[in-house]
Amino acid sequence: MELISNLVHQLSNGAYDLFSFTLIISIIVFVHEYGHYIIAKACKVKVESFSIGFGPEIFVFHDKSGTRWKLSAVPLGGYIKMLGDSNAGSVPANQQKLTEEEKLYSLHTKPRYKKAAIVFAGPFANMVLAVIAFTIFFSTAGYYRTPPVIGSVIKGKPAEQAGLLPGDIITQINEYKIKYFEDISRVITSNPKTRMEIEYSRNNQKHRTSLTPLTIKNEDAFGNVIERETIGVTSVDITGLKQSSFLGAMNLSVSETYHAMCLTIKALFQIIVGKRSINEIGGPIKIAKYSGQSAKQGFTMVLYFIAILSATLAAINLLPILPLDGGHLFFYVVEVVMRRDLSLKCQKYAATFGATVLFLLMAIAISNDIRHLF
């Protein structure tokens, strides 16, 4: 009976995670694609279809302009297909086969600055969503702006061995200026397995020391056990330092969105060069798990997760790989430099190569997800 009960519980959690994932990812994808859509319409490009998800269609309707809006069965992304596209990845078709009237509304007959604006609008919409979600989260839950003063030094940890003491003010780690205590964790997280040169102030005198962070197991915001690096210091007493002003929350939200995007790009580069493990790449199963966990913790945590995920997807979409938005932008830059359009064959080869890379990354991510389940 206990085995059956556990199985039912796991299936129930799985269904809840799947529902939460579908809802959250659909919101993020809709915002992304709607960013493309509204700028395409402003540039007088005909949008033939707008899809949330891939695969078999669940729900379809057509608007007055002829756009086919659809909800599809596989909630792992979405796309808009514009007139002149040969596929959902916006690889151009042969524009000579279009009528003269169709050419007026084709994406690929528009000036490059308009094409670039349409392409960039998707990731930009995700950045805006991240800032809005972070702002509501910080305004509701509050936030800390803690001075970079060491409150205590944990015995046996790198900070103690490097000679740091309570009351020291950390001002810089490597080339990064430290304004708040929260910046210390951000710098350490984004630079794994790196020896840190630390500048600090003690009794109004500047000092320098160096240390290598220690990897420990800890819990993330959703209660999952993760590995993270620490130097072994805590902040001063933060009682009374919690803030909730809207302008302060908005300013912090812009900063958090920027740092989340930078960390995403930096982490991918570090995986490529071997500084991070490829096992850190997570896929849809991991996202579904976090979606369910955030939903169980309430609306504010859902907003936080949406903000993180939206900023992350914005960064990934700006990578210079077709069929990602960054790949199209990269091609436009190349065309400007070369002063001519790249051939359809070149673009199709690049799209095939990019799709293969993305498929391999997805396969690795799903493999990691499955391995972490057992």
Catalytic pick among 33, 102, 175, 335: 33
Place of tokens 């979606």: 291
Q: Is 352 exposed, middle or buried (0-12, 13-18, 19+ CB in 10 A)?
A: middle
Long-range contacts of 9-15 (CB under 8 A, 24+ apart): 13/292
Question: Cα-atom radius of gyration of the chain, to the nearest Å?
Answer: 24
User: Nearest Cα to 191, choosing from 175, 169, 178?
Assistant: 175
Question: Where does residue 172 fall: left (phi above 0), alpha (psi -120 to 50 degrees), or beta otherwise?
Answer: beta
Quick check: 374 and 342 in contact, CB under 8 A?
A: no
335 is catalytic: no
Beta strand extents in 220-353 (DSSP E only): 225-230, 233-235, 242-243
3 state SS for 39-77? HHHHCCCCEEEEEEEEEEEEEEEECCCCCEEEEEEEEEE
Task: Round to whole Å and give the CA distance between 172 and 41.
Answer: 47
Active site residues: 33
